Amino acid sequence: MRTHVRGLLTRPTLLTLIFAAASVQAALPAQVADTPVPSLAPMVKKVSPSVVNIGVRGTVKRSPNPLLDDPSLRRFFDLPPGGGDQQERQPQFRSAGSGVVVDGKAGLIITNSHVIENATDITVTTQDNHNFKAEVVGSDSGSDVAVLKLKNPTPLPAITLGDSSNIEVGDFVVAIGNPFGLQHTVTSGIVSGLGRSLGNPDGYEDFIQTDASINPGNSGGALVNLKGELVGINSAILSQTGGSIGIGFAIPVNMVKGVMEQILKFGEVKRGLLGVNIYTLTPDLAQAVGAPPDLQGALIAQVQPGSAADKAGIKINDIVTTVNGKPVHSNAELRNAIGLLRVGDKVEIGLVRDGKPRKVTALIGESAETETAAADIHQGLEGAALVDAPDAGGVTVRDVEPGSPAAQAPLRPNDLIVRANRSPVTSLKDLRAAAQGANSLVLTVRRGNNTILVPMPAR
């Protein structure tokens, strides 16, 4: 279970959070007039066999410590000779989460990407305590969705997929999963909010917020409506304690469907690319560009030459208001809508230009190489988020994960990579070409007003 503690959550006291959670916790009344409220038990009995426990064993990936490769230091610390102790570098772990059967005959199960991250062995346990080995069909960290397949499928009851576009704030929902190892726990609540984002710049987030209790172990489990239809996959909570305070998040099932279809077809998600830089249109921005103050959408700040947007005739200062007829209220909504389309799809974009509504059709292009893990370019870049910066003439380090090989190099956010070894770098494609086959990699980096050399650890 992903637990988020940043932002507004860090400001109130824990007592305030407990009171707030208690005030929003949904509870069904005992009766309406003289009629008892129907029990949820029949629906739960129908749905529960489709929710499974996922046990994971794996290895924590750590970058090699170059000091352990020094023979004299190994003798000094009484370590065995060789290239380092792999068990020290890569400790084993065990964890557990939940999953949902979506195709009983084929043995297909949906869960969270973070549940099976670094897994070497996956065991699926059903409600009646039957165990099955499973393998990963594909995993998408951007949406936090993964698809598993039982190695020896036995027909299992599959859940009915609902339509998350029909849910509204105030609808009752039920969360089913395995929190803290407690098998098939059921909690109820309401939909507290829609279209939530936790601020992950690399994620595709459109969460359903719910006050149905979600705790560690619920990740990958089912959020269902009162008909027993799957409307979301439980994914994250906001908490200062690690337990539920009534603020949980689920991935809408419509997003899950799109990701699953691509994983089953391609083994991965091939994200669409429009080729624009965008901002959420705020009242201040609307005033600055001469748009109505109540207009909502995404403001086009830059159009990449030759991109899908450029070919469709989209221009700077255009305000995108719809994608395929569905309203767009923010830059995050536009990014999600485009990023979850397939490469080659045609998309109708509604926009406002000079106060007049227009419609254009774009042919979605393939995602930029920024979607590729930096570690795939060179292991010393692991932990860095890199992005093409054509205007600056290089590759920008957008973010660096603390403690990662890239941080130890050290690379810093906003560094601009302009050379790799002796080769100029103007794009991620150039960086990949320069790093290919190179054991050592020395980057020329512009940092503020200075130009420095950053040696990356050898492979």
CATH number of the domain at 136, please: 2.40.10.120
Task: Let me know whether 201 and 282 are in one domain.
Answer: no
The token duo for 2 is 């992903």
* Residue where a domain stops, chosen among 266, 299, 329: 266
- pLDDT digits 0-9 by tens, 129-150: 899 999 999 988 888 899 999 9
Q: CB–CB of 340/259 below 8 Å?
A: yes
- pLDDT digits 0-9 by tens, 370-415: 445 577 788 888 878 888 776 677 888 877 777 778 888 888 888 8
Task: Let me know whether 186 and 256 are in one domain.
Answer: yes
Q: CB–CB of 307/315 below 8 Å?
A: no
Task: Let me know whether 28 and 164 are in one domain.
Answer: yes
Task: Let me know whether 64 and 107 are in one domain.
Answer: yes
The token duo for 147 is 């698809």
Higher pLDDT, 199 or 341: 341
Strands (E), 162-218: 172-177, 185-196, 207-210
* Residue where a domain stops, chosen among 241, 266, 291: 266
Task: Let me know whether 350 and 399 are in one domain.
Answer: no
* Residue where a domain stops, chosen among 366, 398, 417: 366
Higher pLDDT, 184 or 323: 323
In angstroms, how far is CA 443 from the centroid of its own chain?
Answer: 29
Task: Let me know whether 310 and 331 are in one domain.
Answer: yes
Task: Let me know whether 381 and 443 are in one domain.
Answer: yes
Instruction: Flag whether pLDDT at 265 surpasses 80.
Output: yes
Q: What does the DSSP assignment read for 368-413? A: PGGGS-GGGT-GGGTTEEEEEETTTTEEEEEEE-TTSHHHHTT--T
Q: What does the DSSP assignment read for 19-87? A: HHHHHH-----SEETTEEPPPSHHHHHHHGGGEEEEEEEEE------GGGG-HHHHHHTTPPSSS--HH
CATH number of the domain at 278, please: 2.30.42.10
- The average pLDDT across 12-35 equals 48
How far is Cα 286 from Cα 290, in angstroms, rounded to an integer? 6
- pLDDT digits 0-9 by tens, 283-308: 888 888 888 888 999 999 888 777 88
- pLDDT digits 0-9 by tens, 153-183: 788 999 999 999 889 999 999 999 988 878 8
Task: Let me know whether 288 and 140 are in one domain.
Answer: no
Quick one: residue 329, left, alpha or beta (phi over 0 = left, psi -120 to 50 = alpha)? alpha
DSSP 287: H
CATH number of the domain at 197, please: 2.40.10.10
How far is Cα 145 from Cα 233, in angstroms, rounded to an integer? 9
Instruction: Flag whether pLDDT at 18 surpasses 70.
Output: no
Instruction: Flag whether pLDDT at 29 surpasses 70.
Output: no
Q: CB–CB of 397/411 below 8 Å?
A: yes
How far is Cα 305 from Cα 297, in angstroms, rounded to an integer? 22
Please state the length of the chain: 459
Say how many domains are in the chain.
Answer: 4
β pairing state of 272-273 and 222-224: unpaired
pLDDT band at 202 (very low <50, low <70, confident <90, very high): low
Q: Residue 99: its pLDDT value, please?
A: 92
How far is Cα 79 from Cα 62, in angstroms, rounded to an integer? 19
Cis peptide before 410 (omega within 30 of 0): yes
Q: Residue 307: its pLDDT value, please?
A: 81
Task: Let me know whether 29 and 168 are in one domain.
Answer: yes
Q: Which helix (H) or strand (E) holds 95?
A: strand 92-103
Task: Let me know whether 138 and 284 are in one domain.
Answer: no
Q: What does the DSSP assignment read for 278-333? A: EEE--HHHHHHHT--TT--SEEEEEE-TTSHHHHHT--TT-EEEEETTEE--SHHH
Task: Let me know whether 352 and 374 are in one domain.
Answer: no
Task: Let me know whether 313 and 375 are in one domain.
Answer: no
Active-site positions read 114, 144, 219
Q: CB–CB of 209/193 below 8 Å?
A: yes
- How many C-beta neighbours within 10 Å does residue 351 have? 22
Which distant-in-sequence residues (6+ apart) come within 8 Å of 132 by Cβ?
Answer: 107, 123, 124, 125, 126, 150, 151, 152, 154
- Report the b/e string of 84-105 with b at 16+ CB within 10 A: beeeeeeeeeebbbbbbbbbbe
Q: CB–CB of 352/321 below 8 Å?
A: yes
For 404, the domain range is: 369-456
In angstroms, how far is CA 176 from the centroid of its own chain?
Answer: 21
Q: Which helix (H) or strand (E) holds 234?
A: strand 229-238
Place of tokens 């009629």: 35
- pLDDT digits 0-9 by tens, 180-190: 878 888 999 99
Q: Residue 218: its pLDDT value, please?
A: 86
- pLDDT digits 0-9 by tens, 56-103: 988 776 545 555 555 655 555 556 665 544 444 567 888 888 999 999
Q: Residue 158: its pLDDT value, please?
A: 92
Coil/strand/helix, residue 118: coil
Nearest to 358 by CA among 385, 322, 394, 316: 322
Q: Which long-range contacts (CB under 8 A, 24 or more apart) does 258-264 make?
A: 258/340, 259/140, 259/143, 259/145, 259/340, 260/102, 260/110, 260/145, 260/147, 262/140, 262/342, 263/137, 263/138, 263/139, 263/140, 263/145, 263/146, 263/147, 264/108, 264/137, 264/138, 264/147
